[in-house]
Amino acid sequence: MAYPVSPLASPFPALPPIAGVTARVVRAGYKDWGRCDLTYVELDEGTSVAGVFTRNLCCSSEVELGRANIGQGKARALIVNAGNSNAFTGYRGREAVEQIMGQVSAHLGCPPEQVFVSSTGVIGVPLPKDKAREGVEKALTAQPCTWEDAANTIATTDTFAKGATATAIVDGKTVTISAIIKGSGMIAPDMATMLGYLFTDATVEPAFLQECLSAANQRTFSCITVDSDTSTSDTVMAFATGKAGNAPLASFESAGADAFAAAVHDVCRQLAHLVVRDGEGAQKFIAVTVSGAISDESARKVGLAIANSPLVKTAIAGEDANWGRVVMAVGKAGEPADRDKLSIGFGGTWAAREGLPLADYDEAPVAEHLKGQDISIEVDLGLGEGQATVWTCDLTHGYISINADYRS
């Protein structure tokens, strides 16, 4: 089913090609939606890999096998199936993944452990092995596609293709990152919250690539939420082909390591924001900034309590400056908070300071701010130096409409 394009959509950027990476897409027919739904990305020998995966205990076999194999540090291929998550499908689901891994590894002449598979879509339906086999067979020899084609093919309820890019100077050479992501609903922090893939031509040792990705994830993907639901299939992976010719990045002591890590973070932040901007039914993009907490992690948890509150999200949808709902969300977060030190604002205008409504509070600028598409909520706990920003969207009737008929 096609959904109206989000009013918060961003145009797909011009993503540079990455040496050592070739993407292809085909239609396997996992759903009757008349579009490509299988993405095959071939990676040159020597490609390093890192990944973060959902902590959902009912995860898919794709996640289990990916988590088990990521430690060997090398990748030759990525397959992404859209329309069927292959989660909660028992041994039949695992057999389908192993079949894909074996089929691709035989074609490339590499160990199956270097073939990574992701699937996204309806939970509880085994991935059809015949469609997967035929789809992969077609994909192995299909014509190379654009990044935008690949981004559209991995999507499910997404209303626009999502991509991001960044560069860094490493060892005197320019290295490039190009990345795509899908995600719109079932978005909540507990690792990654969607399917996302970063590709770079930098030479990076697997352990350092993992360190960079994990750190970026903690401050980006693990700071977004659409509906507080963590998917069974969440995966974010990074692939480094080494074609840029820089001296290998092995740690933060390596020349250019800081610049590379910053570029990874930048790309992950861009992607995370795009997912929120395509939140199911979203009309507004909301940044919740919490300061004055006892720690950064405490600030993050308070921010997420606010961002996940249906009462806060519906108030923003209705452009209602109901800051009392923010007070409620702070108090229920389970983190240290003091009512008499709490300050709350919208769009840079404080409504309450140190536990009291401001006597001269003027709601007019706040009301004007809430009419826009980009909304900010500021909270100062007044307890310490901890701070964090999390991102979410409003909760509208559109979210209900999308999820009420998702399978049909």
Q: Are residues 246 and 349 in the same domain?
A: no
Q: Are residues 224 and 333 in the same domain?
A: no
Point out the domain boundary residue: 252, 276, 300: 276
Does 408 map to a domain?
no
Q: Is 141 annotated among the ligand-binding residues? A: no
Q: Is 113 annotated among the ligand-binding residues? A: no
Full DSSP string of 313-349: HHHHHTT---HHHHHHHHHHSSS---GGG-EEEETTE
Q: Are residues 312 and 260 in the same domain?
A: no
CATH assignment at residue 63 = 3.60.70.12
Does 11 map to a domain?
no
Full DSSP string of 53-73: E---TT--HHHHHHHHHGGG-
Domain assignment of residue 358, given as a range:
283-403
Residue with tokens 């969607």: 194
Q: Are residues 50 and 151 in the same domain?
A: yes
Q: β-pairing, 356-357 with 195-200? A: unpaired
Q: Is 280 annotated among the ligand-binding residues? A: yes
Point out the domain boundary residue: 257, 276, 295: 276
Q: Is 48 annotated among the ligand-binding residues? A: no
Q: Are residues 301 and 187 in the same domain?
A: no
Q: Are residues 81 and 63 in the same domain?
A: yes
Point out the domain boundary residue: 209, 243, 276: 276
pLDDT digits (tens, 9 = 90+) for 11-38: 999 999 999 999 999 999 998 888 999 9
The percentage of the chain sitting over the pLDDT mark of 90, rounded to a whole number, equals: 76
Look at residues 379, 355, 350 and name the one whose alpha carbon lies nearest to residue 366. 350
Q: Are residues 120 and 189 in the same domain?
A: yes
Q: Which of 54, 89, 193, 225 is catalytic?
A: 193
Does 256 map to a domain?
yes
Confidence of residue 137 (pLDDT cuts 50, 70, 90): very high
Confidence of residue 192 (pLDDT cuts 50, 70, 90): very low
Return d(Cα 165, Cα 199) in angstroms, integer: 9
- Structural domain tally of the chain? 2
Q: Are residues 299 and 337 in the same domain?
A: yes
Does 4 map to a domain?
no
Q: What average pLDDT does the chain have? A: 92
Is residue 383 over pLDDT 60? yes
Is-catalytic flag, 193?
yes
Does 13 map to a domain?
no
Q: β-pairing, 235-240 with 195-200? A: parallel
pLDDT value at residue 56:
73
3-state DSSP: the chain helix, strand, coil percent, rounded to 5? 35, 25, 40
Confidence of residue 203 (pLDDT cuts 50, 70, 90): very high
pLDDT value at residue 283:
93
Mean pLDDT, range 158-180, rounded to an integer: 97
Does 126 map to a domain?
yes
Does 210 map to a domain?
yes
pLDDT digits (tens, 9 = 90+) for 41-78: 999 999 999 999 987 777 788 889 999 999 999 999 99
The pair of structure tokens assigned to 65 is: 């096998």
CATH assignment at residue 379 = 3.10.20.340
Q: Are residues 234 and 307 in the same domain?
A: no
Q: Are residues 334 and 389 in the same domain?
A: yes
Mean pLDDT, range 104-112, rounded to an integer: 98
Q: Are residues 261 and 311 in the same domain?
A: no
> Which range is least confidently modeled, 54-63, 172-181, 277-286, 374-383?
54-63
Q: Is 182 annotated among the ligand-binding residues? A: yes
Q: Are residues 107 and 251 in the same domain?
A: yes
Q: Is 156 annotated among the ligand-binding residues? A: yes
Does 14 map to a domain?
no
Return d(Cα 233, Cα 55) in angstroms, integer: 9
